Amino acid sequence: MTISINDTRAYHRGGRASLGWEQTISESLRDLNSSYFVALEKKETYGNILSRFFEKRDIFQDGRPCNVLEVGGGYGSIAADLLRCNQNISITMVDISPVFLDRQKERTSPFVGRVSFVLSDVFDYFESCGEFDLIIANEIIGDLPALVEIPRTALVDFLSGEKIEAETTREEVAHLKLARKFLNEVGPIVDDFPEIIHLNTGALRFIKSAIKKARALWISEHSSDYDIPEVMKGVFRDVRQDRWPKKVRLFGHDEVTIRFGHLKRFLEREEIPYECGLFMDFLGVRTDEEVRRILLTKSIANETHEIIGEFLNHVMEYQWLFINRENHNPPQRW
């Protein structure tokens, strides 16, 4: 068996961590000169769109201080936009990467006094930090530890109480127990497992920890179980049918896509209110005839077509999840 934990920490702690290899959506839309706006209805930076989202939900309100924690803030573009748009907010940036943290300091330098920085693994930080009004985790939960490469047969045998093979090591048994615990928490355990299974164990652990620290939590990530908006049905050629997490190979590390359905089931079972949506709607992507034709024909007739095709084929796989537990107290058992 090859079950293991996908762990990106060594890569992020090292000096070569960079977003140059994995352009995030927020970085693609960090300023109004971005060429990607040709794929959107409106020219507005990612941080601005997010700021409006929080304003609409009264998380950001005129005259009311808001204490924000941004986890894994990358190059700091979201934080800079939020600080610029809202005079009442202050932000703590926690990041495992010294390289990224330096970039965040540079990017938010006009807002000195309203932003502070912590170099730490987020799970260690949660052990000692205080409480926040809002936690933002944008394109980070796919980096958190995930249980990967679980053979279907081994898991099914283990779940059904079958005797496991004699050569199974203690570590593998521990991994299978972790898989069973995860599936119980996001249950009911389903039987449509692919041959090799990856589970977002770190992402679930993150949600459980984060909602004890803040009343509101924003998460966005590359997902494995996205849907296509009605108006765009049929125009994307490579829609995956298998809704299970997949490994994405990046420079120096692998990420694991998120099965939002698992996280949502956990929240529903715990009766924690949430909203969830597709990035195509969140960003307001163009859905007109020209865009649909470019996607359908995979046209690369000019640079604009290439940009639209590349960006929308990427964006379509992203989802967001927002938890606002204003009137909800999580059970003590977490």
Ligand X SMILES: C[S@@+](CC[C@H](N)C(=O)[O-])C[C@H]1O[C@@H](n2cnc3c(N)ncnc32)[C@H](O)[C@@H]1O
Q: In the complex, which residues of this chain contact ligand X (CB under 6 A)?
A: 8-9, 12, 17, 22, 24, 26-27, 71-74, 94-97, 100, 121-122, 138-140, 143-144
Q: 9 or 180: whose CB is closer to ligand X?
A: 9
Identify the bridge partners of residue 69 per DSSP, sorted by sequence position. 92, 135
Q: 96 or 186: whose CB is closer to ligand X?
A: 96
Q: 101 or 308: whose CB is closer to ligand X?
A: 101
Q: State in angstroms the smallest separation of the CB of 137 from ligand X.
A: 8
Residue 164 vs residues 149, 168, 199, 281: alpha-carbon distances, Å:
17, 7, 20, 46
Q: State in angstroms the smallest separation of the CB of 103 from ligand X.
A: 9
Q: 226 or 279: whose CB is closer to ligand X?
A: 279
C-alpha dihedral, 231 to 233 to 237 to 241, nearest 10° = 140
**Distance in angstroms (rounded) separating the CA atoms of residues 125 and 143:** 16
Contact 324, 272 (CB under 8 A): no
**Which of 157, 209, 203, 201 is CA-nearest to residue 181?**
201
Contact 77, 141 (CB under 8 A): no
How far apart, in Å, do the first and last CA atoms of the chain sit?
30
93 SS3 class: strand
Q: 132 or 158: whose CB is closer to ligand X?
A: 132
Q: State in angstroms the smallest separation of the CB of 224 from ligand X.
A: 16
Q: State in angstroms the smallest separation of the CB of 270 from ligand X.
A: 23
Handedness of CA 148, 153, 157, 162 (dihedral sign): negative
Q: State in angstroms the smallest separation of the CB of 75 from ligand X.
A: 6
Q: 140 or 312: whose CB is closer to ligand X?
A: 140
List the 146-151 sheet strands across, edge first: 4-6, 146-151, 196-199
Q: State in angstroms the smallest separation of the CB of 95 from ligand X.
A: 5
Q: State in angstroms the smallest separation of the CB of 63 from ligand X.
A: 28
20 SS3 class: coil
Q: 278 or 294: whose CB is closer to ligand X?
A: 278
- DSSP states of 146-204: EEEEEEHHHHHHHHTTPPPPTT--HHHHHHHHHHHHHHHHT-SPPS---SEEEE-HHHH
